[in-house]
Amino acid sequence: MPYLTLKDGCSLYYKDWNTSGTSPVVFSHGWPLNSDNWDAQIFSLASHGYRVVAHDRRGHGRTDQTWEGNDMNTYTDDLDQLLEHLDLTDVMLVGHSTGGGEVARYCGRHGTKRVKKAVLISAVTPLMVQTDSNPGGLPMSVFDGFREAMVKDRAQFFVDVPSGPFFGFNRPGAEVSQGLIWSWWQAGMMASFKGTYDCVKAFSETDMTEDLKEMQIPVLVLHGDDDQVVPIDSSARAAVNLLPNARLKEYPGAPHALPNICAQEVNQDLVAFLKE
C-alpha cells in the first residue's frame, strides 16, 4: 500500500488507481471516514479512463494518528505535499463534507496552479457554526453535543449517526442498509479519537468565505435538499453565491451521504463535469 512521509514525519496513506489514466481526480473524504468511502466513485472514474487518487486524512483510516495538526490548514498542507509528490497537474479536486472544506481551503491557501476544476459535495463551506455574521449556521451546542457524545461513548455515537441523519435512514420509508451503517462505524472507530474530536472544530468553525471567493476555477456544487447534517441553505446555497464560477445541482430529497446513497448519479455528474 502506498504511503507518503510528510514533512512532520506523519505517514499518509493514499490510493492511486489507473496511474496511466488521464485528467487526474483527487478525492477528500468526510468526517470521520477515510478514502474507502469514495470507492464507488474512484472505481467508476478509473474504469472510465481517469487517474484517481484518494487519501486518508491524518488521524483517519490508515494514516498516522498525530496528536497535533488536526486542523484545516494542516489538512490542506498535507494534500499539497501529496499533489507535489505525485506531480499532479490539471487536477479536479472533489471533496465531501469536511473534504469539501479541505478543497476550498486548499485553493485559498495554496492556489490553483495544479487545479483546473473542483467539486463540492455536501460540503461544510462556507461556515457551519452560527455566528453574528452567519446567523443561519448551526448553534455551537450542536458541535459541543458531538464532542460530549464522543467522550461519553464514541462507539454508540458512531452507531447513532449513520443509523439516522447521515444516510437519512431516520426518514419514513427509507431503505436502510445495515452494511452502510457497519461500514461507517468501522471507519469511524478505526480513526484516531483525538483526530476526530479535533476535527469537529475544524469542520464546524473554519470560515472558508474568503477561500471560496478566491476559487476562480469552475466549481460544481452538489447537495441534497434533505441534508440533516449540513443543511443546504447555509452551505451550498450560500457557497454558490460566493464562488465566482460555480453552479449548484440540488438532489431532491437526498441526504448528506450523496456518494453512497446517490452513487450512480454522483458518478455521472462527475464524469460529465470532467468532460466539459
Output the average pLDDT for the chain: 97
Model pLDDT for residues 220-229, shown as the tens digit of each residue:
999 999 999 9
CA dihedral 199, 134, 208, 51 (to 10 degrees): 70
Q: Is 227 designated active site?
A: yes
β strands within the chain, DSSP E: 3-5, 11-17, 22-28, 50-55, 91-96, 115-121, 219-224, 246-251
Catalytic pick from 35, 44, 97, 204?
97
Which pLDDT belongs to residue 42?
97
Q: Span 141-151, mean pLDDT?
A: 98
Catalytic pick from 48, 234, 256, 269?
256
Q: Span 83-92, mean pLDDT?
A: 98
Q: Is 97 designated active site?
A: yes
Domain count, the chain: 1
Domain limits at 186? Answer: 3-275
Grid cell digits, residue 194: 483525538
Model pLDDT for residues 183-207, shown as the tens digit of each residue:
999 999 999 999 999 999 999 999 9
Catalytic pick from 227, 234, 235, 269?
227
Q: Judge whether residue 176 has pLDDT over 70.
A: yes
Which pLDDT belongs to residue 1?
67
CATH number where 109 lies: 3.40.50.1820
Model pLDDT for residues 4-60, shown as the tens digit of each residue:
999 999 999 999 999 999 899 999 999 999 999 999 999 999 999 999 999 999 999
